[in-house]
Amino acid sequence: MKKIMVFLFAAIFIVAVLAFAAEVKKTELRPTQIVMQARAAWLKAMSKNLGDGNFPAIVKDANELAAQTKKIGDGLANPLAKDITLAISVFANEASAAATKKDAATVKVELGAIKAKCDECHAKIRDKK
């Protein structure tokens, strides 16, 4: 009888743990987080493609980054955030132009400038709170 009770207790415990684990859901990302993750992915891809010499992929990613930051930057009310976001758009356009010319040195400089603007935004806006 004791063995049956222990077995039932263990089975109920395991079922409860599994049911709880199934209920744990990932938190949904805020729209700003989705945008920032896309920017980080583009920057990472461009850096990788620069190392691989894949200039057409850099042009594509830089153009997408430039379009996204221009669209979002134009709608921002915070003047600092707007300036930083629009600067990223300009640097991305310059990276695209350099990649079109297969000018790896200039692409590297522009990617560094984009990263610097990302860091500036994090320091002055995101992490300031």
d(CA 105, CA 98): 9
Average pLDDT in the chain: 89
Global confidence as pTM: 0.77
Give me the domains of the chain, ranges plus CATH numbers: 31-126 (1.20.120)
Q: Look at residues 33, 60, 50, 22 and name the one whose alpha carbon lies nearest to residue 111.
A: 50
Q: Residues 22-74: pLDDT tens digits?
A: 665 667 878 888 999 999 999 999 999 999 999 999 999 999 999 999 999 99
Can you give the C-alpha Rg of the chain in angstroms? 24
Q: Look at residues 53, 92, 55 and name the one whose alpha carbon lies nearest to residue 71.
A: 92
Question: Cα dihedral sign for 69, 74, 76, 79?
Answer: positive
Q: Residues 73-82: pLDDT tens digits?
A: 999 999 999 9
Look at residue 22 in the predicted model and tell me its pLDDT. Answer: 62
